[in-house]
Structure 1
Amino acid sequence: MDDKATGAVTLKRLRTRRGLSLNDLARALSETARELAHPHLPSTASVQRSVARWESNRPTMPDERYQLLLGLVYARTPAGQTALGAGSDFAEYLDALGLLGEGERRIAELRSAVVRRVTDAGGGMLAFLAPGTQAALVHALADPTHVDERVTAGLGAAVSDVDQQVGSVPFVRLQLLLSPALEACRQLLAGPVPVPLVPELRAVAVSAATLAARLTFETRDDTAARALYADATRWAAALADPWRQAGVHMSHALVTLYSQDGLDGARRLVDEAVRTARSGASVRVRARAHALQAEIAAREGLERQAQTALGLAAYDTEAHHKGDPSPSSFSLGHLRGFEGVCELYVGDPQSAHDRFARSAAALSAPREQVQRAIVRTDQALARIKLGEPRAAADLLHECVGAAASTGGRVPAIRLRRARRELRPWRREEWAVDLDDHLMDVLGS
């Protein structure tokens, strides 16, 4: 059986497993469209024929509207609970679309759209836990000696799923989605978890607390963010591989860089990240640590030190990464952004602009939109240094939407700093337009 036939069989299995006839599913899709205030679907008989074509021996691909409607139907269990994680009907549905030939990017966009709809409706607090994991987790929380690999793997998958929605879903909603997994980790680590499973559970807790700290910072609660970073640092120190400690230090360094005057606090955290990353198993994490070290040096005007650290970051980025435990933590697109920052502060603004442009082009995935907005604001600063303030304002208009869609603090901070550099032209019509856009969307 080829992939398309397997995809069609999967769609049929999802429907029949719920006891739905072709007509039942057609009605469910029409009802979902009405709930969303979408244009009315064709007659039930017409929709039923479409469902049959998707499940036929020579299946067709549901179009984008039907993909969303099907996703929303399968995002809820027959009992009405939201379930989006591994093992859910929704996850199986996305796999079916992939088998039918849908691209990874479109599937990622669809997944984000469904998560947005779920959180719009105020649901989803345990959405990323696999159905079977929820019951096992309840049992384990009552008695931590019953923690098993299904629980730790399920919690890890839930944290990873929330992390993948950064840039697609507002930060405040991601906090709600993440909090049950983090609290579960905290409670289980305080209990008598079976010793062989402690390291795995602690690693999940590190990821959850680090992500929670970043989300909390983005939603402007610095005190809570510092406490979460302290938890993540403590748990990471008890793990055998130092690369996880480096990851916590780098995340903490970035929020420190944006929230405090001066560079001393961020530099100390970055230096500690480099130290721990050097003895860790992840080359990608080590590359990111060196790149961040280069940025701090450049902001201090230390050109030689910045170039040395950039060279180490480039070497690690180009190295063989097979088996890296954190393969997605750093990429060539990210490196180009750091190279641009260094050129901006201790090099050539034209070179900085070109590197930022290449970095922004490479950061195209939904998960990378926050980073892309940051890179674009830096590109605008380069345009100002090149004597092109109006072109800089055009770039900043693009970034306003990205900052508003996530509610993120860092893009907003970068936007305001870039806008301050445009003060000499504040009376120009295009500068007034930018101020109006910032006020309308961000309130500042």
Structure 2
Amino acid sequence: MSADDGLVGAATLKRLRLARGWSLAGLARAVIGKAGALGQPLDAGVLSVQRTVARWESSKAPILPGDRYQLLLAHLYACGADGQVSLGAGSDFSELLDALAHLGESERHLDELRTLLVRTVTDSGGALLALLGPSTRHALSAALTDPARFDEALLADMRHAVGDVNGHIGSVPFVRVQLLLAPIVESCRRLLGAAVPEPLLPGLHAVAAQAFTVAGRAAFETRDDAAARALYAEATAAAGGTGSSWRRAVVHMSHALVTLYSTPGIESAQQLVDAAVRDAGAGESVTVRARAHALQAEIAARAGAERNARSALTLAWYDLDSDHDGDPAPSSFSPAHLRGFEGVTSLYVGDPTAAHDYFARSARALQGPREQVQRAIVTTDQALARIRLGEPESAAELLHGCVHTASATGGRVAAIRLRRARSDLRPWRREPWFADLDDHLIESLGA
């Protein structure tokens, strides 16, 4: 953090305080009151907290608020003057995070603080429009009334909000993801059927395709297969209006994975994967192309077609190692993800030892909040490999951590994989460690 950065952060904190009409003592009283309301009373009086606030806003040597004060400030500024919770771009909460960043707080800690507030909002049932800032709410309301007022700024805010929700998968349960997405999904539906300015239509279709896809995934994870199918149909249609075939490939791949776990056999999923490979091959994203080939490898391995699976994996690595300059979706797939697919291929048509090693390497690399669901799936598959290697008790140890993640997120795929692993462990059902795992599964997942 440079001295100038610190001064910018201090000035932002001061501006936020004054915008609420608070003096230094007023903010101190608000902080103390919020601490009490959260059941975490401060062991400090108004004068003491007031001096602390002044040090945050110092024009000479400002200091970063401590973790506890950051949390209290986050709760204060997440609630607008109108009483509405707002965490989106342009909100006081967003400005607070920017100030803390200028004062030297790490990006990871700020992400954790944001996730904590999102969980709090969805716990209290106040999620609707929470990720849309006040100005975005106003602009969206105006555009829904008069579509001619839909503009680039609103499109960018909607794109950011959908990305924000997508980024919280793995950090909040899928039922909360649905709550956060609901107003954006409905707004996209209405705007797509309205006379918005024609130059903005491809961008609106892209935002809608992503919103419908994430919503379809969330509906599947919460076991509403009919809603998932309808949302994926909307996503496919919206992606078709973007002029970018790679976007439709993304929809097909998400739909294929959902279909794989909700429809008997692999034929329907195979058709979607084939469509994804075709669209990705005609698109501008080599990263999406790599992901499509990886999924093609998994489907082939599940069908017992080892040669096709290995060939698809080779193409996936070729794509992933290619030049990614100008790739419109560079972060959508990584070597860690691909190693998971290599593990699945080896699990079905290869060596379980190799499968186990692929899964272990993939799990170690999948550490981000957004990757927790995928990490649980990969680790469950790693446990399956251990069972095949004759290490059932060690497999059960791995599965306990996966149960926790599946329970916390409501992830359906992880739960399905866990039940399969439990079934494979039945020959050891009289062992004490099996009983422990069974109890954990029943307590956390009801099965």
TM-score (norm 2): 0.96
Q: How far, CA to CA, are the matches of 1:120 and 1:41 in structure 2? A: 27
Q: Tell me the residue number matched to 1:381.
A: 384
Q: Which amino acid aligns with 1:15?
A: R
1:191 is the counterpart of 2:194? yes
Q: Equivalent of 1:25, from 17, 24, 27? A: 27
Q: How far, CA to CA, are the matches of 2:325 and 2:387 in structure 1? A: 41
Q: How far, CA to CA, are the matches of 1:396 and 1:66 in structure 2? A: 37
1:47 is the counterpart of 2:38? no
* Aligned-pair CA distance for 1:235: 1.5
Q: Tell me the residue number matched to 2:342.
A: 339
Q: Please tell me whether the aligned partners of residues 277 and 286 of structure 1 are also in contact (alpha carbons under 8 angstroms).
A: yes
Q: Tell me the residue number matched to 1:234.
A: 237
Query: Please, what is the CA RMSD of the aligned residues?
Result: 1.3
* Aligned-pair CA distance for 1:334: 0.8
Q: Please tell me whether the aligned partners of residues 7 and 97 of structure 1 are also in contact (alpha carbons under 8 angstroms).
A: yes
Q: Equivalent of 1:157, from 160, 163, 168? A: 160
Counterpart of 1:236 in 2: which secondary structure?
A: helix
Q: How far, CA to CA, are the matches of 1:26 and 1:383 in structure 2? A: 56
Q: Tell me the residue number matched to 1:414.
A: 417
Q: Tell me the residue number matched to 1:293.
A: 296
Q: Please tell me whether the aligned partners of residues 209 and 231 of structure 1 are also in contact (alpha carbons under 8 angstroms).
A: yes
Which string of whole-angstrom CA distances, capped at 9 and with x for unpartnered residues, describes residues 170-216 of structure 1? 11111111010111111111111111111111111111111110000
Q: Tell me the residue number matched to 2:395.
A: 392
* Aligned-pair CA distance for 1:2: 2.5
Q: How far, CA to CA, are the matches of 2:45 and 2:36 in structure 1? A: 13
Q: Which amino acid aligns with 1:13?
A: R
Counterpart of 2:90 in 1: which secondary structure?
A: coil
Which string of whole-angstrom CA distances, capped at 9 and with x for unpartnered residues, describes residues 227-276 of structure 1? 11111111112221100100000000001111122111111111110000
Q: Please tell me whether the aligned partners of residues 41 and 47 of structure 1 are also in contact (alpha carbons under 8 angstroms).
A: no
Q: How far, CA to CA, are the matches of 1:80 and 1:220 in structure 2? A: 34
Q: Tell me the residue number matched to 2:7.
A: 5
Q: Please tell me whether the aligned partners of residues 356 and 379 of structure 1 are also in contact (alpha carbons under 8 angstroms).
A: yes
Structure 1 residue ranges without an equivalent (≥5)? none
Which string of whole-angstrom CA distances, capped at 9 and with x for unpartnered residues, describes residues 276-325 of structure 1? 00111111111111111111111112221111111111122122223221
Number of aligned residues: 444
Q: How far, CA to CA, are the matches of 2:348 and 2:426 in structure 1? A: 20
Which string of whole-angstrom CA distances, capped at 9 and with x for unpartnered residues, describes residues 92-150 of structure 1? 21122222222222111111001111111211311111221211111111121221112
* Aligned-pair CA distance for 1:64: 2.0
Equivalent positions of 1:103-122 (< 5 A) are 103-122=106-125
Structure 1 runs (4+) greater than 6 angstroms displaced: none
* Aligned-pair CA distance for 1:24: 1.7
1:244 is the counterpart of 2:236? no
* Aligned-pair CA distance for 1:47: 2.1
Which string of whole-angstrom CA distances, capped at 9 and with x for unpartnered residues, describes residues 339-363 of structure 1? 1111211222122112211111111
Q: Which amino acid aligns with 1:249?
A: H
Q: Equivalent of 2:91, from 88, 93, 100? A: 88
Structure 2 residue ranges without an equivalent (≥5)? none
Q: How far, CA to CA, are the matches of 2:44 and 2:336 in structure 1? A: 44
Cα 1:93/1:436, change in 2 over 3 Å: same
Counterpart of 1:2 in 2: which secondary structure?
A: helix
Q: Which amino acid aligns with 2:400?
A: H
Q: Please tell me whether the aligned partners of residues 339 and 359 of structure 2 are also in contact (alpha carbons under 8 angstroms).
A: yes
Q: Please tell me whether the aligned partners of residues 399 and 418 of structure 2 are also in contact (alpha carbons under 8 angstroms).
A: yes
Q: Please tell me whether the aligned partners of residues 85 and 129 of structure 1 are also in contact (alpha carbons under 8 angstroms).
A: yes
Q: How far, CA to CA, are the matches of 2:443 and 2:28 in structure 1? A: 41
Q: Tell me the residue number matched to 1:210.
A: 213
Q: How far, CA to CA, are the matches of 1:64 and 1:245 in structure 2? A: 43
Cα 1:306/1:39, change in 2 over 3 Å: farther
Q: How far, CA to CA, are the matches of 1:125 and 1:218 in structure 2? A: 20
* Aligned-pair CA distance for 1:41: 4.2
Q: Please tell me whether the aligned partners of residues 105 and 365 of structure 1 are also in contact (alpha carbons under 8 angstroms).
A: no
Counterpart of 1:229 in 2: which secondary structure?
A: helix
1:365 is the counterpart of 2:368? yes
Point out the more displaced range, 243-252 or 297-306: 297-306
TM-score (norm 1): 0.97
Counterpart of 1:339 in 2: which secondary structure?
A: helix
Q: Tell me the residue number matched to 2:260.
A: 257
Q: Please tell me whether the aligned partners of residues 381 and 418 of structure 1 are also in contact (alpha carbons under 8 angstroms).
A: yes
